[in-house]
Structures are given as C-alpha cells and as structure tokens.
Structure 1
Amino acid sequence: MSVEIKAGEDRYDIVVDGKSAGFLETRTRPDAILFLHTEISDDFAGQGLAGKLVTAALDDVRSQGRSVLPYCPYVRSFIAKHREYEDLVPEDKRAEFEL
C-alpha cells in the first residue's frame, strides 16, 4: 500500500494507492494553524490513516515553527494521547482544549 500526504491550501490530503482516502481541514491565522475537521472515507476506515494524516500534519506545522489550535475532536484526542505534540498548542490555550 502506497500512502502519500499532500499539503494544500487549507487542508492536508491522504492518498492511498492513488485514491483520495481523506483530509484534514485547516485554516491559517497569523498566530496559529486551526485544525478544524478530519475525515477518512468509509472505504479506508480502520487502517490507521487518520493517525498517519494527523501525524504528518503536526510534523509539518512543527517544521514551520507554527502552533496549532486543535478544534477538531480527533486531533484534540490525538494530541492528548501523543503528548510529544502538546507543545504545538500554545500554553495559554491548552486548558481551552483540555490539554
């Protein structure tokens, strides 16, 4: 299986064997990138693709030196389980996201 993450304007896409499998919707603000919604197609459910997509997106944000506001419930729970990404959420915003 070939998995590719593509960063686009206001979204990250995950492509499996040349087929769109899902996306992470974002909005860029001067102070942070808002992670709004993660969706994986039913045809690709249960393969861990949402985690791969969010990991790649968070790593990309880190490489840019930016911060994240995780409005998407999946991203919020992912960060709560993977504390190595908690530093991407501004310290003064963590309580708002229960982190």
Structure 2
Amino acid sequence: MPALSTLLRSVRRCRRCPNHGEQEESPIMEPRVADNPERSRFEILVGDEVAGFAEYHLFGDEIAFIHTEIDPGYEGQGLGGRLARAALDAARERKLSVLPFCRFIRGWIAKHPEYVDLVPESERPRFGF
C-alpha cells in the first residue's frame, strides 16, 4: 500500500478532476438585522432570506418584544443573539424602554446585564430583574 503522502500527491495531480484539491469559494453572507416596521418586527437576514425575527409592539416610548423565532435551518449559528443585540441596540438608540415579554429576549438580557437598564426600573421585578 503506497504511503499516504504519495496518495495525497497523486490526488492533487489528478487530471480528470480539474478542480480537485481546490476549495470552491462561496461568498460568505454576513447576517444583517433590519427593522421591518410594516410587520412590527426586527428581521435577521442572510443574503435576501429572512433567517429569523423578533416581533414587537410599540406603545409611545416603549417597545414590547413578544416573540422571537429563528428558522430551523439557521439554528445553532448564534443568529438569535445577534438579532437580540441589534434589536435592543436599536431600542437604546431610539430611547425606547424595553418590555421583554418574549422569553428569549428576556433570557438574553439576563445573560447581558448591560442591557437591563433598558427595562424600566418599575417593571424589572415583573421580568425577573
């Protein structure tokens, strides 16, 4: 049996497979978050595809997050956290108080205490903060 190094060299020189040994480069699509006010939700997009969303209701200077969902095909890639951070950063920029009725957003805030200040002090006990 030939040595592994000999086999690897012959695989690299294979003439019948012109692309053999070369990695096909696919464009890496950086996820981005956009507010979609018509649908009352922040969406995380990969390319042009909606990979997830965080639904909200606006009440004056408060934003109530009610549901967050990531498409099963995109789970386990950290998109939920990116979505939560971007949505909460947008709330901070707009000087909105946050009511995290959504369990995921509430849990994310609990793990990132630098965002607890977005929840009105009088409402914090209600959400476990």
Q: Provide TM-score, normalisation by structure 1.
A: 0.96
Residue 95 in structure 1 maps to residue 91 in structure 2: no
Q: What is the 5 A alignment of 1:16-95?
A: 16-95=46-125
Q: Is the 8 A contact 2:33 2:83 kept in 1?
A: yes
- Structure 1 residue runs without a partner (length 5+): none
SS at match of 1:2: coil
Tell me if structure 1 keeps the 8 A contact 2:61–2:95: no
Percent identity between matched residues is 45
What is the letter of the counterpart of residue 5 of structure 1?
V
Q: Does 1 or 2 have the higher relative contact order (CA < 8 Å, sep 6+)? A: 1
| C-alpha distance after superposition, 1:19-49 (max 9, x if no partner) | 1101000000014100000000000000000
Which letter does structure 2 place at the counterpart of 1:51?
Answer: G
Higher share in strand:
1
- Separation of aligned partners in 2, 1:81 and 1:43: 25
Number of residue equivalences: 99
Instruction: Give the letter aligned to residue 98 of structure 2.
Output: V
Deviations 1:2-25 (A, max 9, x none): 211110111000001221101000
Q: Is 1:8 aligned to residue 54 of structure 2?
A: no
Q: Name the TM-score, length of structure 2 as normaliser.
A: 0.75
